[in-house]
């Protein structure tokens, strides 16, 4: 989610800077020409367009957070991850979180992402099943804890990538 914030902030800056500079230039031209008729119109137009761009960016950002499955899984872990680890008796200090590189389709229309919690001494795995509701992904059921023999889950032997999830109490 941190990366999404950076991307959308960059997009916002790239769109808003030219609008703000155009608005400032228009205001300066109005003052130089001493034409106050259009001063208020130009000022309010610039503010209105900037506000619409900001509203649009916030809407698209919220849509992206609900539509991208890894972002939904990341948000779920931020809320539930600590309790999940504590409930299983797993260590919670110094745990790094990794997501599977691939997202797997299930027969019932859900998708599964595998999550690795890597601590100092051991690595633990869970799988999250997600279903599409409208235009948003939601966690379908409680996470599936992968214990013991990992031969039943060949997916966890593939690549995982680090995620900056902070597990909160």
Q: pLDDT-derived band of residue 140, with 50, 70 and 90 as boundaries?
A: confident
* 1 Cβ contact list (under 8 Å, min separation 6): 65, 71, 74, 75
Q: pLDDT-derived band of residue 49, with 50, 70 and 90 as boundaries?
A: very high
Give the pLDDT mean for 54-65: 93
Give residue 150's pLDDT.
67
**Does the pLDDT value for residue 168 go beyond 70?**
no
> Is the overall model pTM greater than 0.85, yes or no?
no
Give the pLDDT mean for 32-37: 73
Instruction: Give long-range contacts, CB 8 A cutoff, 24+ apart: 78-83.
Output: 78/165, 78/166, 78/167, 78/168, 81/165, 81/167, 82/167, 82/168, 82/169
Give the pLDDT mean for 51-65: 93
| 8 in Cβ contact with 61 (< 8 Å) | yes
**pLDDT digits 0-9 by tens, 5-14:** 899 999 999 9
Give residue 55's pLDDT.
96
Domain boundaries, the chain: 2-67, 80-163
């Amino acid at each position: 989610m941190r990366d999404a914030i950076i991307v959308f902030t960059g997009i916002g800056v790239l769109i808003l800077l030219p609008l703000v500079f155009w608005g400032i230039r228009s205001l300066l031209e109005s003052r130089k020409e001493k034409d106050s008729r259009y001063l208020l119109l130009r000022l309010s137009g610039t503010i209105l367009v900037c506000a619409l761009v900001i509203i649009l960016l916030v809407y698209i950002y919220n849509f992206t957070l609900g539509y991208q499955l890894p972002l939904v899984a990341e948000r779920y872990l931020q809320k539930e991850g600590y309790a999940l680890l504590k409930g299983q008796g797993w260590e919670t200090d110094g745990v790094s979180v990794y997501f599977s590189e691939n997202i797997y389709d299930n027969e019932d229309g859900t998708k599964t992402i595998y999550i690795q919690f890597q601590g100092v001494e051991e690595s633990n795995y869970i799988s999250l099943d997600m279903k599409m509701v409208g235009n948003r992904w939601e966690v379908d059921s409680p996470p599936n804890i992968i214990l013991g023999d990992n031969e039943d889950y060949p997916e966890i032997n593939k690549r995982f990538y680090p995620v900056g999830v902070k597990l909160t109490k």
